[in-house]
Structures are given as structure tokens and as C-alpha cells.
């Protein structure tokens, strides 16, 4: 009946402190999230009625009702180590306030663990804290050694990672740079080995001509969009939001500001998932006359003849948009929109700001009118209930827009129960119609993601979303070893259409042809197909790994260099918020 699911986990997985990972950790995590309802995690478990531990490596979950997205949603759940987190509520009334990186918090929880946990468990935890100074304990391929805020993130290989021979590197250093230009310079000089951000458009030709640099061009899995505060007296007016939508020239954005390395989008389902995309939603194609008419209809008119519109109450009509200061493209989009709106008497102030400030205003305080962000457009339809629902309109939640729509939520719940995929697709297309009409956010673009890396770095897996991904992080090496995918193998299908090519670089005065822009969708669609064709494979054990740390270039031939990743601070804050 689809209500009872049995899961088996590997029997050789360990937490970073050496404690075995078992079914008890997973069941504990489910119950923990259900009890404390953290906004980022509760949606992944709210549909579970109860759990059952069968043995140390087998558990069952019982659903309240059929839920078609179970594996996709539950698969995103971050599992907590029970031997740590079951003691946190004994110290913090609200365990969400526990900071596993803060010494004072760690000391308090460790004291309880030492008193109440089994001696062997307590000893492992105490030894870990003594060595690393924190309780950010996971089970992944790397573990945190050091985090210097605003400077670097230092990770070392998990020695008990369940896939033998992986990861191939003993150390990863994420080094923070202030801009994409600074990141590129670090790659160019050899200070870093791979970029975390996309390369600046101005240096693409230079990078392509450099034999020491590899520049893959793959479509991003993020969508760039403008978000609106529906609780604000001005942007809460749907006619105003629609007027702004008509005032944004998306084709100019993707062809000129982004030099053709992007594609305009009109609904918040990634174009890769073509079957789910509603191509009939309103596109709000650039039309300043229409924008002006909507503002007139909403009562925002220039009543004193000074060239600027006033509110229906006769007050100054002024809008503010927050843009990420470290991304020139989105700052320029803010400027473009301000210049365009000025032509119809609307004053828009573009406020570039750092990541932390933007997140605080938008996600925590809900003190904003408009902002530009990029969010995961692996944001497939099953993510809708993690964002467009009333329960996520809380500080730190995923619905900063304040989008609350009962019709939408009722349809969403219906879609999640619908087992007939064709019917489910139609419901999600209807949901897209509602979003396109209500406009809590305005989808703008999907861009090519071009993460330059040093030619001496082997094991890089180039895929949609960029060269820096999980597969690259576990395969990267300086010994010429090709990537092996220990979980799945990507199978390249025989092309049935013309070969996919990247769009040409053009100057801002010469936009690239439309077909070049459309290749973004074609590329992503093929990549999505590859993923679906994944099959399990056996992998040969990799016998050697990269030596820890950096070494001078003149070191012996047997030595290798640690992998340094040129990063932007935004990536260290939790990607659920997007690339802000």
C-alpha cells in the first residue's frame, strides 16, 4: 500500500569520532526533527507516522498516507549522531540554539556526555573534542579541522569512511576570496586549484588560452530570481509585482549582461525537468508600457508632476532591492532594473551587501522589499512543500516572501498523494500557474557554471552544476588518476540530436544568437537523462591517497600537493539559502 518502507544501511559506516553509525541514529533523527520542527529539516520527515528499528542496520518507516516523493524528500535528511544530540536537550531547552562550533556550547554538552554516556562512547567523543575542538560530527568523506571565519575552511579525510580508498585527498582547504576576480587570480597563479564560483566573463578568453587552466562549461543547477516581500505594503501589491516583472528585460540580462552564458526562465521548475515545466505560464516579457499601466491601475501615479510616482496615499513611492555585492552580474541586474523603472517614474534603490547581511534581512528578519538570489533548481517539484507553505514563514524558514495560499497548499497536498504521474504533472503545472500569477518570486535565468581548475588536478567530474561537486571532492588527486564513481556510474547516451556546444563569447553590443542560448536546456536535459540511467558498479580500491597539506614545489617526486579550493564566504553558511 506504499505506507511501510524498509531501509537497510551499510554496516561499515562510522561517525567522525569513530562511533558506528546505525539505524538508531536515523530513527533518532526522524523523531528529533518531528519533535523540535527545525524549518530546514522538518519538511523531510513530517509525513512519517512512526518508525521501527528492526536491527542495528535495518529500520522501517510508516507513513501517515501515501507520499509519492518519499525517497526524494527523505533522502535529503541530514542524519544526526544520536550519541551527541540526545544529550543536547538536557543543556538547551531549544536544541536548535546549540552551536557545535562554539566552545562554550561544546563544553556544556560534553560535560553531560561524560557523565551519562557509556564510557567507551564518552571517551571517543572526548578524544574528538580534544583533538578538533568542536562537535560538528558527521559521517561524510571529510571532517572539519578548522574554520577561520572569513578566511578558510580546513577539512581532513575521514579515516573510517565506508568506501575504501576514498576520498583520494587527505586534506581540502576552502580558501575565501572577496570576489570572483580574486578567485580566478588564485587559480591563474597556482595559489588555488579549483574555483567554487563561476569565472568572471571578462577573462573567459584568457582562461581558455592558458594551458595551465581547464575551463569546463556546464549548465548550473541553480535558478536566479527576484524575491518579493508579500507582507510589505508596496511589494505586497500584486499589480506592483507584475509591473516590476514587465520592467525587467530578461533577454538583455542573459544575452548582454551574461554574454549568452545563460538562458531566461519563466517558472521555478528547472528547464531540465521539461515534462514538469509549464511553458504556458505568463512570461511577463519586457513591456514598459504594460508596466506603467499596471502601476496606474494600482494607484501609483505622478500626482505632483515631478517625474516620480507617488503611492495611492500621496507619499513618496520608493523601492529597494538587495543584491549580493560579490556577484557583479546580479549587482548589474539591480542597476538595470533601477534604470528601466526610472523611465516610468519609479525610484528603485539598489543596495549591494554581503551574504550575512542579506540573509539576516531576508530570511531572519523579513525586513526587505526585493532581493536577488540564486537557489537550488534541483528545486524539482517535490521541493515545493519545503518552501511555498505557511509553516515555512518563520525566522530562518524557507518562505521569506510570506506566500500563504490555501488553494495552493491544498493542491500541493493532493499532488503529493497522486500516484498517477501524468495527473501529478498536471497538478504541478497548475501550481506553477498560481505562482506565476501571485509572483512571490520572479524567475530570471539559469546560467552556465564555469569553475576553472588547474590542469594538474586529476579526477575532476564535470557535470551540471559545475566541476566542484561531491564526485570531484572524493576523486580529486595529483597522480593522474581518472575519476571513479564509487556509488554510481554516469552512462553517456547516444546523442539523438545535434552535438551540444557552448555558446560563443560575444561583446555586450553583439548578443549571441538565440539557438546558442537554448543549448543550456538541451545540455541540462541530457545530463538529467544520464543521472536517471545510473547503475550500481563495483570499483577498484585506490591504494594511495594524497599527502596532507601543502609542500614546496621543489619537494621530492613522491610528494603531492594539498587541494586548495577558491571559495566565496556565502558557501559556508548553508546552501539551503541559495547563492545569495
pLDDT band at residue 382 under the 50/70/90 scheme: low
Whether 355 has a pLDDT exceeding 50, the answer reads yes
Whether residue 514 contacts residue 263, with contact meaning beta carbons closer than 8 Å, is answered with no
Which pLDDT score is estimated for 272? 82
Helices (H), 397-483: 406-417, 421-438, 470-475
Say whether 37 sits in a helix, a strand or coil. Answer: coil
CA distance 198 to 189: 17
Which pLDDT score is estimated for 566? 78
Whether 530 has a pLDDT exceeding 50, the answer reads no
Strand (E) or helix (H) holding 350: strand 347-353
For the stretch 337-370, what's the b/e string if a residue is b when 16 or more beta carbons lie within 10 angstroms of its beta carbon? bbebbeebbbebebbbbbbeebbebbbeebebbb
pLDDT band at residue 166 under the 50/70/90 scheme: very high
CA distance 205 to 184: 13
Mean pLDDT to the nearest integer, 128-150: 95
Domains in the chain and their CATH numbers?
Answer: 4-104 (3.90.76.10), 142-212+456-484+544-577 (3.40.190.10), 222-448 (3.10.105.10)
pLDDT digits (tens, 9 = 90+) for 99-117: 999 999 999 999 999 999 9
Report DSSP letters for 108-175, one per residue: HHHHHHHHHS-HHHHHHHHHHHHHHS------SSEEEEEEETTTEEEEEE-TT-SSTT--S-SEEEEE
Sign of CA dihedral 383, 388, 391, 395: positive
CA distance 87 to 85: 5
Report DSSP letters for 504-550, one per residue: PP--TTSPPPHHHHHHHHHHHHHHHHHHHT-B----PPP---PPSS-
pLDDT digits (tens, 9 = 90+) for 211-256: 999 999 988 888 999 999 999 999 999 999 999 999 999 999 999 9
Mean pLDDT to the nearest integer, 147-166: 92
More confident residue, 180 or 501: 180
CA distance 439 to 311: 20
More confident residue, 315 or 326: 315
The closest of 42, 57, 41, 47 to 6, measured between CA atoms, is 57
- Cα Rg, the chain, nearest whole Å: 25
Whether 265 has a pLDDT exceeding 90, the answer reads yes
**Model pTM score:** 0.74
pLDDT band at residue 50 under the 50/70/90 scheme: very high
Among 64-78, 406-420, 476-490, name the most confident range: 406-420
Q: Is 500 exposed, middle or buried (0-12, 13-18, 19+ CB in 10 A)?
A: middle
Q: Is 103 exposed, middle or buried (0-12, 13-18, 19+ CB in 10 A)?
A: exposed
More confident residue, 47 or 250: 250
- Cα–Cα distance list, 215 to 159, 210, 269, 309, 453 (Å): 32, 10, 27, 47, 7
Whether 571 has a pLDDT exceeding 80, the answer reads no
At 168, phi and psi to the nearest 5? -85, -20
Which pLDDT score is estimated for 380? 55
- What is the three-state SS of 378-398? CCCHHHHHHCCCHHHCCCCCC
pLDDT band at residue 506 under the 50/70/90 scheme: very low
Tally of residues, the chain: 580
CA distance 188 to 538: 37
Amino acid at each position: 500500500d506504499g505506507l511501510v518502507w524498509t531501509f537497510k544501511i551499510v554496516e561499515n559506516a562510522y561517525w567522525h569520532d569513530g562511533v558506528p553509525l546505525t539505524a538508531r541514529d536515523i530513527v533518532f533523527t526522524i523523531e528529533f526533527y518531528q519533535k523540535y520542527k527545525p524549518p530546514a529539516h522538518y519538511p523531510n520527515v513530517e509525513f512519517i507516522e512512526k518508525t521501527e528499528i528492526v536491527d542495528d542496520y535495518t529500520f522501517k518507516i510508516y507513513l501517515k498516507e501515501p507520499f509519492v516523493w518519499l525517497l526524494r524528500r527523505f533522502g535529503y535528511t541530514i542524519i544526526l549522531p544520536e550519541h551527541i544530540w540526545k544529550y543536547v536537550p538536557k543543556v538547551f531547552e531549544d536544541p536548535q540554539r546549540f552551536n557545535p562550533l562554539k566552545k562554550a556550547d561544546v563544553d556544556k554538552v560534553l560535560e553531560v556526555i561524560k557523565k551519562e554516556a557509556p564510557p567507551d562512547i564518552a571517551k571517543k567523543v572526548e578524544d574528538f573534542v580534544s583533538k578538533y575542538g568542536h562537535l560538528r560530527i558527521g559521517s561524510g568523506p571529510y571532517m572539519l579541522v578548522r574554520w577561520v571565519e572569513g578566511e578558510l575552511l580546513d577539512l581532513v579525510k575521514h579515516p573510517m569512511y565506508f568506501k575504501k580508498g576514498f576520498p583520494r585527498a587527505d586534506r581540502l582547504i576552502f580558501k575565501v576570496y572577496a570576489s570572483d576576480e580574486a578567485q580566478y587570480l588564485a587559480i591563474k597563479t597556482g595559489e588555488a586549484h579549483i574555483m567554487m564560483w563561476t569565472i568572471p566573463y571578462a577573462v573567459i578568453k584568457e582562461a581558455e588560452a592558458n594551458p595551465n587552466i581547464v575551463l569546463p562549461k556546464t549548465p548550473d543547477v541553480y535558478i536566479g530570481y527576484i524575491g518579493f516581500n508579500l507582507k510589505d505594503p508596496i511589494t505586497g501589491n500584486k499589480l506592483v509585482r507584475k509591473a516590476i516583472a514587465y520592467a525587467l528585460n530578461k533577454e538583455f540580462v542573459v544575452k548582454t549582461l551574461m554574454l549568452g552564458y545563460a538562458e531566461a526562465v519563466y517558472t521555478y521548475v528547472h528547464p531540465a525537468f521539461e515534462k514538469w515545466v509549464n511553458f504556458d505560464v505568463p512570461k511577463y516579457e519586457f513591456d514598459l508600457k504594460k508596466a506603467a499601466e499596471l502601476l496606474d491601475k494600482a494607484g501609483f501615479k505622478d500626482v505632483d508632476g515631478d517625474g516620480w510616482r507617488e503611492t495611492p496615499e500621496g507619499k513618496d513611492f520608493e523601492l529597494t532591492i538587495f543584491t549580493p555585492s560579490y556577484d557583479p552580474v546580479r549587482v548589474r541586474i539591480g542597476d538595470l532594473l533601477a534604470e528601466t523603472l526610472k523611465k516610468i517614474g519609479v525610484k528603485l534603490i539598489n543596495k549591494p551587501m554581503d551574504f550575512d547581511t542579506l540573509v539576516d534581512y531576508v530570511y531572519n528578519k523579513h525586513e526587505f522589499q526585493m532581493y536577488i538570489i540564486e537557489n537550488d533548481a534541483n528545486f524539482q517539484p517535490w521541493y515545493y512543500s519545503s518552501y511555498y507553505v505557511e509553516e515555512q514563514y518563520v525566522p530562518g524558514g524557507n518562505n521569506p516572501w510570506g506566500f500563504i495560499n490555501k488553494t495552493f497548499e491544498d493542491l500541493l497536498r493532493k499532488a503529493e498523494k497522486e500516484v498517477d504521474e501524468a495527473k501529478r504533472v498536471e497538478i504541478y503545472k497548475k501550481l506553477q500557474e498560481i505562482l506565476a500569477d501571485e509572483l512571490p518570486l520572479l524567475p530570471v535565468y539559469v546560467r552556465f557554471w564555469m569553475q576553472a581548475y588547474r590542469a594538474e588536478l586529476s579526477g575532476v567530474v564535470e557535470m551540471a552544476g559545475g566541476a566542484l561537486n561531491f564526485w570531484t571532492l572524493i576523486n580529486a588527486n595529483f597522480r593522474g588518476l581518472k575519476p571513479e564513481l564509487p556509488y554510481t556510474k554516469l552512462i553517456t547516451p547516444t546523442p539523438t540530436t545535434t552535438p551540444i556546444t557552448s555558446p560563443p563569447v560575444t561583446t555586450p553590443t553583439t548578443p549571441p544568437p538565440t539557438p546558442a542560448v537554448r543549448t543550456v536546456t538541451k545540455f541540462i536535459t541530457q545530463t538529467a537523462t544520464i543521472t536517471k540511467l545510473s547503475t550500481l558498479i563495483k570499483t577498484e580500491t585506490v591504494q594511495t591517497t594524497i599527502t596532507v597539506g601543502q609542500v614546496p614545489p621543489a619537494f621530492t617526486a613522491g610528494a603531492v600537493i594539498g587541494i586548495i579550493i577558491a571559495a566565496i564566504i556565502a558557501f559556508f553558511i548553508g546552501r539551503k539559502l541559495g547563492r545569495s
